[in-house]
Amino acid sequence: MEGILYHMAIVFMGFFAIMNPVANVPIFLGLTVEDNEQATRTIALRSLLLAFLIVAVFAIAGKLILDLFDITLPAFRMTGGLIVLLIGYHMLQGNHSSVHHLNEEDNQKCREAELGIAVSPLAMPILAGPGTIAAAMNFASGGGVMEMAVTIAAFAFLCLITYLLFIFGEKFVTFIGVGALGVITRIMGLILAVVGMQLLIEGVQGAFTLAGN
């Protein structure tokens, strides 16, 4: 039981750092600034449901995808670790990685329909970007059904937290201040960089194990 709880904590913190719902609150507010309360809630719900479905599919079918393309788990872990590490590095510098967020010009192009932003750019790639998908496949593909279920449950819990942050986002940003938001982003970047390095180390160890067999 303790092992499951520990794994749940590691997976949740990894997802929390890479998706960074706190830092995404201003982005969400900027995309929904002209929408009423009902539309804002609908956009938040749809974007998070879609992000959850994307991550769940990759978590469940991750092993199948690896087998289909004849990719070894160590190779995927090393690649996923590098992606996660890169995102964490950019967050530590106070920037947004290009594989995680869109710039403001791209966001403006997605304002064609009120609810269209729930799909892009919110669900993909802001919430369920390459880093999040890579992390989900890494967390879920290393064990059995229990690890897969824990990965999906951890991301579902994170989606719930993110929904609340989005809904009460304006009050939250006003409460903590812009400066505190930057500090939180850098802390998440540090945690994310450590998670990426751990995945990279596990991938290298697995590669040496395969080479020795």
**What's residue 36's pLDDT?**
81
Per-residue pLDDT 10s for the chain (213 aa) are: 667 788 888 899 989 988 888 878 877 877 776 678 888 899 999 999 999 999 999 899 877 877 888 877 788 778 877 877 887 787 777 655 444 444 444 444 444 455 677 887 778 877 887 778 888 888 887 667 888 899 999 999 999 999 999 999 777 767 777 677 677 767 767 876 887 788 788 888 888 887 776
Please say whether the beta carbons of 164 and 26 come within 8 A: no
**What's residue 37's pLDDT?**
83
Q: Enter the pTM of the model.
A: 0.68
Domains: count for the chain: 1
- DSSP string covering 173-204: HHHHHHHHHHHHHHHHHHHHHHHHHHHHHHHH
Long-range CB contact pairs, 99-103, < 8 A, 24+? 99/125, 99/129, 99/130, 99/131, 100/18, 100/125, 100/126, 100/129, 100/130, 100/131, 101/27, 101/125, 101/126, 101/129, 102/126
Q: Residue 125: is the preceding peptide bond cis (ω within 30°)?
A: yes
Please say whether the beta carbons of 151 and 59 come within 8 A: yes
Its domain, for residue 31, covers 2-212
Please say whether the beta carbons of 126 and 101 come within 8 A: yes
Q: Which two tokens stand for residue 66?
A: 């690896």
Cα separation of 190 and 104, whole Å? 25
| Side chain identity at residue 143, one-letter code | G
